[in-house]
A and B are shown apart, each in its own frame.
Chain A
Amino acid sequence: MARWGMTADLDRCNGCGGCVVACHAENNISTVGPEQASRGRAKHWIRVERYWEGDFPDVKLKFRPTMCQQCGNAPCEPVCPTYASHHTEDGLNAQVYNRCIGTRYCANACPYNARFFDFFNPSWEKPLQLQLNPDVSLREVGVMEKCTFCVQRIRGTQTTAKAEAREVRDGEIQPACVQACSTRALVFGDLEDPESAVSRLSRSPRGSKLLEDVGTRPAVTYLARLTDEI
């Protein structure tokens, strides 16, 4: 059984935000407009967290693409009253929109603030509705949503591989952010396979987990930046 994971090489990441845009396009995430965004209603399943340190001219910049870490010990899962948030056998934290009644407890429990609530019904100005991805359902007002490691692509590739009576190849499944990353900082694959790219990179001495001391056992490994200077 696979166990999906991701590595993000912070040395390669240049904060371009391509992953954010690709995620919006792939997963039918609507934009909310400037007024709602300023009120904290934006739904960036992956976001580039950016921190400035120090005063000019000794400014240091740190940034990190942050998405749902698909935790092994996910605090968002036991608290959902309707099992809308639960763990799949291949290590994903599943969010079942149909089961969600919108208590938002999962979002409070998530230490990474990786979960987002649909405050309004989504809308796209014509003709943008033509670019919606038919593989991903639209979420109505009142449900929680978050990064799924593009589970539609995972399942789609698994189905194709099964139809072709072969195993899924390493690197064949690429979530939208991984595919769009201009510097190939994001790598996705099966952590159960010790030879896969993601397994080898997670074992790197530069590797660490985000908020490891909270005890969530995330599936995403961040490879530290070699220098803090811009």
Chain B
Amino acid sequence: MTHPTGAQINRDLLRPLLFTSWRFYLLVAFFGFFVLAGLVAWAAQMTLGFGISGIRWPVYWGFYVTNFVFWIGISHAGTLISAILRLVNAGWRRPVTRCAEVITVFALLIGAMFPIIHLGRPWLAFWLFPYPSERLLWPNFRSPLVWDFFAINTYLTGSILFLFLPMIPDFAVIRDKATGMRRRIYGALALGWRGTPKQWHRLESAMQIMAIAIIPVAVSVHTIVSFDFSMAPVPMWNTTVFGPYFVAGAIFSGIAGLLIAMALLRKFLHLEDYLHPVHFENLGKLLLVMALLWGYFVFNERLVTYYGNEPAEMTVFWQTQNGPYAPLFWTMVIGNFVLPLILMGIKRFRTITGCVIASISVVVGMWLERFLIIVPALSHKYLPYSFGIYRPNPVEIVITAATFAAMALLYVLFAKFVPIISLWELKAGEHPSPELIPPATEEHRLGDLHL
């Protein structure tokens, strides 16, 4: 494993910005096509009427709300890695922080689209914003959906700023290397960065404050998303475990998303010298812990329901255990629990490939988990006459696929314009002061890098 130094780091990590191959354009065209298809589908839904979706009485929330919760969950990657690892000063986070923060911002942007997509009258979505109107109406601050609005906007603002702050010194590097229009744009973004100790102190204080502030916000965001369900008297929704359950699930899916992104970046941008197997191993161990935690919460929720034996709740319960939703449920259990436990628990399998396979199964499993929380409960509420089966329609499937394409597209574009690994943080890890960081153990050494 080689250990690159200053100028080499600049060269390697700025290469995607300076050289563009045909593969980039192909990727953009490919993902852009699906994103366009999604936009067309959404336009069709708005003009032809919401009825072209699969939503029906009484299952009024389906794919769109599933995607909403799923993408907000994925967005917890950045917070965990960046903020928590920064605060505990874990050195192995350095190459990984920006990849993670980027996932957070883009997943939030995509997730925040869905409350608008799933509205019956999306052109009136601005009514959720508190402004003095001539109708003397303000949003209902007691509604979980308004809490969603505030929480997601706060988290989005915080994440974008948390992503932007550490990019400032990197923009300065690019500014110094670029010419013409690019120099002006990056120069403006660099906010006159020179690198004096005072500027470094300000930046690091700001990042410390942001890290401390963003963690409670992230926890609150997914708790509030869970309140969308637990505040309604629907069988198997009205439970207090949803708050921590959703947060744990979010961090779980976030780590999985991050592992996939890291593996792809490592392969396509040739970052083998920067993203070492030990990074994947460490994140893989975190994935294992979160898989166990997820299993604990699911067991908790199900045992309490089963023990209560309340008729309405048990109807929903059996839907997933041995009813029509059982195949999806057991796929979810295998994807979220069995496979990650095997692959991440056994050291021999905790390779980069193993991490990626486990992460993909977790992403699939977590999407199914959101679906299985929402749809079986809504289709079997209290009065059997009004039970109903939900089937997604093409417009919902197209929009769902478009969001995955949108994520990939945004990521590819980002990696083209901003170095995907933070240059200065990587260099700062080269010579940490002995009194600041305790002596490294063998497994934390990356070549000559002491962490």
Is the C-beta of A79 less than 8 angstroms from some C-beta in chain B?
yes
Is the C-beta of A36 less than 8 angstroms from some C-beta in chain B?
yes
Tell me the nearest residue of chain B to A40, going by C-beta. Answer: B56
CA distance A117 to B56 in the complex (A): 8
Contact of B146 among A50, A81, A116, A142 (CB under 8 A): A81
Q: Please indicate the chain A residues that have their CB under 8 angstroms from the CB of B381 in the complex.
A: 111, 113
Is the C-beta of B143 less than 8 angstroms from some C-beta in chain A?
yes
Which of A47, A103, A111, A140 has the most chain B CB within a 10 Å cutoff? A103
Chain A 215-227 per-residue mask, 1 if CB under 8 angstroms from chain B, else 0: 1100000000000
Asked whether A75 lies within 8 Å of B51 as measured between CB atoms, the reply is no
Is the C-beta of B181 less than 8 angstroms from some C-beta in chain A?
no
Asked whether A101 lies within 8 Å of B57 as measured between CB atoms, the reply is no
Is the C-beta of A126 less than 8 angstroms from some C-beta in chain B?
no
Asked whether B378 lies within 8 Å of A108 as measured between CB atoms, the reply is yes
CA distance A40 to B53 in the complex (A): 12
Would you give the shortest CB distance from A211 to chain B, in whole angstroms? 5
Given contacts A78-B140, A83-B140, contact A104 B231 (CB under 8 A): no
Which of A79, A81, A211, A216 has the most chain B CB within a 10 Å cutoff? A81
Tell me the nearest residue of chain A to B385, going by C-beta. Answer: A49
Is the C-beta of A51 less than 8 angstroms from some C-beta in chain B?
yes
Q: Please indicate the chain A residues that have their CB under 8 angstroms from the CB of B55 in the complex.
A: 104, 117, 119
Tell me the nearest residue of chain B to A109, going by C-beta. Answer: B232
Is the C-beta of B119 less than 8 angstroms from some C-beta in chain A?
yes
Q: How many A-B residue pairs have CB under 8 A?
A: 138
Tell me the nearest residue of chain B to A119, going by C-beta. Answer: B51
Given contacts A79-B143, A82-B137, contact A117 B57 (CB under 8 A): yes
Given contacts A42-B57, A101-B119, A121-B49, contact A75 B382 (CB under 8 A): no
Do most interface residues of chain B lie in helix, strand or loop, or is the interface mixed? loop
Asked whether B120 lies within 8 Å of A107 as measured between CB atoms, the reply is no
* Interfacial residues of chain A within 44-94, with CB under 8 A of chain B in the complex: 47, 49-51, 66, 75, 78-83
Q: Please indicate the chain A residues that have their CB under 8 angstroms from the CB of B57 in the complex.
A: 40-42, 107, 113, 116-117
Would you give the shortest CB distance from A87 to chain B, in whole angstroms? 13
Asked whether B232 lies within 8 Å of A82 as measured between CB atoms, the reply is no
What is the total number of residues of chain B having a CB less than 8 Å from a CB of chain A? 42
Asked whether B50 lies within 8 Å of A83 as measured between CB atoms, the reply is no
CA distance A142 to B59 in the complex (A): 15
Asked whether B125 lies within 8 Å of A101 as measured between CB atoms, the reply is yes
User: Which range contains the number of A residues in contact with the other chain?
Assistant: 35 or more
Contact of A103 among B49, B119, B234, B385 (CB under 8 A): B119
Chain B 87-125 per-residue mask, 1 if CB under 8 angstroms from chain A, else 0: 000000000000000000000000000010011111011
* Interfacial residues of chain B within 116-138, with CB under 8 A of chain A in the complex: 118-122, 124-125, 127-128, 137
Is the C-beta of A112 less than 8 angstroms from some C-beta in chain B?
yes
Q: Please indicate the chain A residues that have their CB under 8 angstroms from the CB of B137 in the complex.
A: 82-83, 99
Q: Please indicate the chain B residues that have their CB under 8 angstroms from the CB of A79 in the complex.
A: 143-145, 231-232
CA distance A121 to B181 in the complex (A): 50
Tell me the nearest residue of chain B to A144, going by C-beta. Answer: B120
CA distance A80 to B128 in the complex (A): 11
Asked whether B121 lies within 8 Å of A142 as measured between CB atoms, the reply is yes
Tell me the nearest residue of chain A to B120, going by C-beta. Answer: A102
CA distance A120 to B47 in the complex (A): 10
Q: Please indicate the chain B residues that have their CB under 8 angstroms from the CB of A120 in the complex.
A: 49-51
CA distance A99 to B127 in the complex (A): 9
Given contacts A101-B120, A113-B381, contact A82 B233 (CB under 8 A): no
Q: Please indicate the chain A residues that have their CB under 8 angstroms from the CB of B386 in the complex.
A: 49, 113
Asked whether A118 lies within 8 Å of B120 as measured between CB atoms, the reply is yes
Q: Please indicate the chain A residues that have their CB under 8 angstroms from the CB of B119 in the complex.
A: 101-103, 142
CA distance A116 to B56 in the complex (A): 9
Is the C-beta of B323 less than 8 angstroms from some C-beta in chain A?
no
Q: Please indicate the chain B residues that have their CB under 8 angstroms from the CB of A42 in the complex.
A: 57
Is the C-beta of B345 less than 8 angstroms from some C-beta in chain A?
no
Q: Please indicate the chain B residues that have their CB under 8 angstroms from the CB of A161 in the complex.
A: none
Could you pull out 6 A-B pairs where Cβ atoms are within 8 angstroms? Answer: A47-B385, A66-B383, A79-B143, A99-B137, A107-B60, A118-B120
Which A residues lie at the B interface, using CB under 8 A?
A: 36, 39-42, 47, 49-51, 66, 75, 78-83, 99-105, 107-109, 111-113, 116-121, 140-144, 211, 214-216
User: Can you name 15 extra interface pairs (CB under 8 A) apart from A120-B49, A121-B49?
Assistant: A36-B51, A40-B57, A42-B57, A49-B386, A75-B233, A82-B128, A101-B128, A102-B120, A103-B115, A108-B378, A116-B57, A117-B60, A141-B50, A143-B120, A214-B382
Question: Top 5 closest A-B pairs, CB basis?
Answer: A102-B120, A142-B120, A119-B51, A40-B56, A104-B60
